[in-house]
Amino acid sequence: MQFPASAKPPVGIGFDSAMDSIGDVLALAMLHGFDGKDQARIAAISVSSGDLRAAQFCDAVSHFYASATTGPAAMFMRFTPIGLADGKPAAESPIFAKPAGTTTIKSVIDTADPATLIRNELMAQYDQNAAVVLGGPATDLANLLNLYGVKDWIARKVRLLCIAEDGLQTDAAAARKLFTEWPTPIVTVGREIGDTLPFPGESIDKDFAYSTAHPIADAYRAFKPMPYDAPSSAMAAMLYAVHPNDGYFKLSGTGNPRALVLDPDQKERIIRTYIEMASAKPVARKPRRPPDDKDKDKDKNKEEKK
């Protein structure tokens, strides 16, 4: 999403994941929750698995959260494309067993190359006002680092890369490149964090019940026989990326990268935030000014004053 110059928005998040685990799905829901509550803005969503259905799912989720916006605001709403890596998925994920709703993605040409998408969207963020959350293998981010001149953009725009370590082993070479070349502080989230802070499955029937066709709840139910609690390392990475200074987690040691450390006193608060954000209702967006209206006059006056 691109922003006018008028006000500094909350942190812009780029979320890249394989979207093949329910933790990734819940982290995506959380991101939309943060976005709806103006605690973060979605900069880019990309899928590293090469599974078209995963991209369609992400797109449908975006449309679901945009569904509360109607009228002129809807007319000028721009849906950022979903990034999708080349290649075929390793296995069919049950997450996508049920169609998630409206999607404009019919084939791979309706998606973007993740590296190009992330680069383009980072360029639209305020300096040091973006964070990247990695929920799967590092393939897409390694490709991003290969783009000409991109490291300067990353260093300028991104304050933090937050990595859920679960998916890294799928592409060890990409992970090595990422840890060697990524130009900002990195925070890793170990599997044990996700296991210690499980997302409670009972929340699905309770907190997501406001919609009879909730794509997140449907995916959760399809992923494994209910009831079950879901590991949450991608959610923890998302939470820390949005609120690094709000005491949800501590960090290990010094240097770069550093690892997320759980403060047992925060466990309940963290899980409460997981539920609140992942189950947040779609929020109606205010109408965006059409091009050439108010901004134009304002900018003209500014120039004249100069």
Partner 1 sequence: MITKKSLPRRTFLRGMGTAVALPFLDAMVPALSAATRSKPPVRMAFVYVPNGIIMDGWNPDYEGPLGELPRILKPLEPYRQDITLFGNLTHNTGRALLDGAGDHGRCCASYLTGVQPRKTVIDIKAGVSFDQIVANQVGKQTRFPSLELGMEDARQAGDCDSGYSCAYTNNLAWRSETQPLPPVLDPRALFERLFGNGIALTPAARARENLYRRSILDFVSDDTRKLETDLGPTDRRKLDEYLSSIREIERQIEKAEKDNAQIDPHMEKPYGVPADFAEHFKLMADMMTVAFQSDLTRVITFLVTHEGTSRPYREIDIPDGHHPLTHHRNQPDLIEKVAQINCYHVRQFAAWIAKMRTIREGDGSLLDNCMIVYGAGLSDGNRHLHEDLPTLIAGRGGSHFKSGRRIVYRKETPMCNLYLAMMDRMGVHVEHFGDSTGRLDTLDLT
Q: Quickly list DSSP for 155-171.
A: HHHEEEEEEEGGGGGGG
User: CA–CA separation, 165 vs 149, rounded Å?
Assistant: 27
Does position 120 bind partner 1 by CB under 8 A?
yes
Q: Which of residues 39-78 bind partner 1 (CB under 8 A)?
A: 75-76, 78
Minimum CB distance to partner 1 smaller for 148 or for 254 = 148
Q: Is 109 in the site for partner 1 (CB under 8 A)?
A: yes
Among 68, 147, 283, 284, binds partner 1 (CB under 8 A): 147
Q: Beta-carbon neighbour count of residue 259 at 10 Å?
A: 17
Is the distance from CB of 33 to CB of 244 less than 8 angstroms? no
Nearer to partner 1, 21 or 80 (CB): 80
Shorter beta-carbon distance to partner 1: residue 29 or 130: 130
Residue 299 CB, shortest distance to partner 1, in Å, is 4
CA distances from 71 to 56, 64, 158, 294 (A): 25, 16, 34, 19
- Establish if 303 lies at the interface with partner 1 (CB under 8 A): yes
**151 part of the interface to partner 1, by CB under 8 A:** no
Number of residues binding to partner 1, judged by CB under 8 A:
37
Q: Which residue stretch of 145-153, 180-188, 203-211, 245-253 sits at the interface with partner 1 (rule: CB under 8 A)?
A: 145-153
| 206 near partner 1 (CB under 8 A) | no
Residue 126 burial (C-beta neighbours within 10 Å; 0-12, 13-18, 19+): middle
Q: Which residue type sits at 70?
A: T
Is residue 149 involved in binding partner 1 (CB under 8 A)?
A: yes
In 3D space, the residue among 178, 179, 48, 185 whose CA is nearest the CA of residue 113 turns out to be: 48
By the rule CB under 8 A, 123 interacts with partner 1: yes
Task: Report the Cα–Cα distance between both ends of the chain, in Å, rounded.
Answer: 30
Phi–psi pair at 260, nearest 5 degrees:
-75, 135
Site string for partner 1, 280-299 (x = CB under 8 A): ----------xxx--xx-xx
At 272, phi and psi to the nearest 5?
-60, -40
Kindly tell me which of 84 and 161 has the beta carbon lying closer to partner 1: 84
Identify residues 208-247 at the interface with partner 1 (CB under 8 A).
none
Residues lying near partner 1 in the complex (CB under 8 A) are found at 2-6, 75-76, 78, 81, 108-113, 115-117, 119-120, 123-126, 147-149, 290-292, 295-296, 298-300, 302-303
